[in-house]
Structure 1
Amino acid sequence: MTTNRIGNTRHLLFLIAVLCSLLLLISFYKTEFHNHGMADREHFMRHIRPDSNFEKFAKNDLSDEHVHVMPAAPSLLKKRTIYPKRENMGECKPLFGKVVVFVAYVESSMKTHYKVAQDSLHCYLKGVNYTTAFVDLDHDKRVKENCPHDQLFFKKHCAASVYLQDADWMLVLDADTAVVNPNHCIEEWIDDRVDLVFYERFFNWEIASGNYLVKNTEFARTFLRKWADWQYIQPSNWNGADNGVLQIHILQTVLPDAVEEIKACDAIWHKGTDYDTYMAYVTCVKVTLGANRLYPGKIRIHRRAHGWVRDGFLTGDNFCDNDFMLHGWKLQAIELEGWNSPFRKMFNVSECGTGYLGWNYRPGYKITPDEVRKRLAAFEASAGNTFPKNAQVFPYLTQPDVGNCYPKCDDLT
């Protein structure tokens, strides 16, 4: 009996010791995991806090041994051919072939608007070797034969598809787009990975319809023609005309499998009653497109203020070396309606051609890129704060993306 009791006691003590060891071990690992996790979190937070390491990342200083950067995978995409920036009004060499500058207009408007903008363009064109196509949409023979559209802007895109056949690349411009800094070549914005190049308007993130670059390909000509033919199927409400059409036309072109998302944006578009509700549709398209701006073989979309043209009012018509063209000049003369343009007198196009001859700048209107950046940053903050509340939509919260198609929602993916 005594021996059995001693044995049982030893077994009990051994079990207690094992249990205590396990408890200590579990406690140790929990403590270590917690501390290690907190250390990792603190380490991570230190690297994303602007006041600690933002500048290091901005300068690509990756000397911190704890920062691991994944090597870039070999790109399967065609690399863009970078066109050298024009210097000292030098030659614009035809690296991408024949470039045509296309401006569509109606005679009545050209007589009462756009003279300042158009004179600046003509002055610029005298110093380069681009081909021009100034097309009267009411009287041009080729337009009459190919474009039955009766709404101006849709007819313009049809006309562009017709004249594109004369070019390798074509720059399509609104008549109120002016050249403010001629020390640029159009080719600086050509991207030979795509067939169409667009940009976003700064004040509302809308993909602009008035000015674009287009390559002479079957894809591009078809895109323009379909865009024009939207005249016949566009919604009858407040729809943004060709600008509104462009948003969904691009979405359908680059993300054809996003059927439910396209339906969601289309539904919002059809509910538009004014500018604010129209902007809800623009937001829907932007959210659906996401951060990607390059769709190889199809389209590139420049982010705001990075295209060849931006709205002049953003900086009071001040400009810097990075600027090429400004949009929105609709006056026949300088000084009208209190407008102090960057030029001190009207253009005499006969004086233009070599260097800066004919470019009569008003002192102080050319500013530094950093000053332009500061003004754009201020406008950017203001635009975000004043953006219509009912346009701040997240389509996946307000529109179905599964309920109408389950279980076949991914069939096209």
Structure 2
Amino acid sequence: MIDADIGVVNEKRRIEEFINWDKDIIFYERFFNFEITAGTYLAKNSEGARIFLQGWAELEDKLPPSFHGKDQGALHVWMMHELASQSRLYDKCLDLWNRSKNYDDLNKFTLCCREALNTAGPNTVLVLKEGKGWCRDAWLANSHWNPEIDFMFHAWKEIYKLSYKEEDIGKLSGEEFYPWFETLQVPLKRSQCPREDVDWVHDKNLIAPLDYLQAHLDRRLQNVERSYRLLKSKLNL
């Protein structure tokens, strides 16, 4: 399943690279915060996957009157319920969710759930580490990418698409969350999408050297990890 604002940036990669046939559901960690991504996942056609997804969906009618994070927040609650209900943090995490009033509160709740999930035993849900999933937000590197590590981009909403300027070329730090640049020099027609023999013409100005791009992404990950440790300490988890 993928969000409507997700698209393929690198047609040479395949989703099969990310499949683990021993797992019913595969998620990945978001690159820029503590969340497990809810907007895209791989689900096996199995009873275990169907039960998991049905339970998650049914939380829509049980969301608390708080800043709950919608499906994103519900995913963490459901994963904790299914995989770590015996955790000493279970009740604390639910309390944080019920009292959440803003994104800062939601971050505390999310971190609490992640800590609870660290106690989970063997199960059929896989969460890929940051940077190891099939998709990342385009703005994380100002729409620059490299064919060695990238497959799909998220946050490609047409309303936020911009034309880059000369000073944007090679600049990996840009405005966060929304703006993005078209990575194709020649846009595809919809009729070409199912065909394997169509050569995509990429805009070479947005293809960054691997070492340069990886170093930039690693710095972002280090910042997230630092923030995680600091907030965990403040929460005394």
Same fold (TM over 0.5): yes
Which among 248, 265, 273 is matched to residue 93 of structure 2? 265
Cα offset for 1:177? 0.4
Contact 1:193 1:296 in 2 (8 A): no
Cα offset for 1:290? 2.6
Contact 1:201 1:208 in 2 (8 A): yes
| Alignment RMSD (CA, Å) | 2.7
Residue 141 of structure 1 corresponds to which residue in structure 2?
none
Q: Distance in 2 between matches of 1:300 and 1:216?
A: 15
Between structure 1 and structure 2, the one with the greater Rg is 1
Which among 185, 205, 213 is matched to residue 14 of structure 2? 185
Q: 1:319 to 1:356 in 2, by over 3 A?
A: farther
- Percent pairwise identity: 28
Contact 2:111 2:228 in 1 (8 A): no
TM-score norm. by structure 2 comes to 0.83
Residue 107 of structure 2 corresponds to which residue in structure 1?
279
Residue 315 of structure 1 corresponds to which residue in structure 2?
141
Give yes or no for the alignment of 1:298 onto 2:137: no
Which among 22, 41, 48 is matched to residue 212 of structure 1? 41
Q: 1:356 to 1:317 in 2, by over 3 A?
A: farther
Residue 157 of structure 2 corresponds to which residue in structure 1?
330
Cα offset for 1:348? 1.5
Cα offset for 1:334? 5.7
The ranges of structure 1 where at least 4 consecutive aligned residues each deviate by more than 3 angstroms after the TM superposition are: 332-339, 381-385, 393-398
Contact 1:265 1:284 in 2 (8 A): yes
Aligned length, in residue pairs: 221
Structure 1 residue runs of 5 or longer lacking an equivalent are 1-171, 399-413
Residue 29 of structure 1 corresponds to which residue in structure 2?
none
Q: Distance in 2 between matches of 1:366 and 1:328?
A: 18
| Aligned partner of residue 201 in structure 2, secondary structure | coil
TM-score norm. by structure 1 comes to 0.49
Residue 199 of structure 1 corresponds to which residue in structure 2?
28
Give yes or no for the alignment of 1:250 onto 2:89: no
- Any residues of structure 2 matched to 1:40-79 within 5 Å, and which? none
For 2:29, the aligned partner's letter is E
Q: Distance in 2 between matches of 1:205 and 1:384?
A: 9
Contact 1:310 1:325 in 2 (8 A): yes
Cα offset for 1:269? 1.3
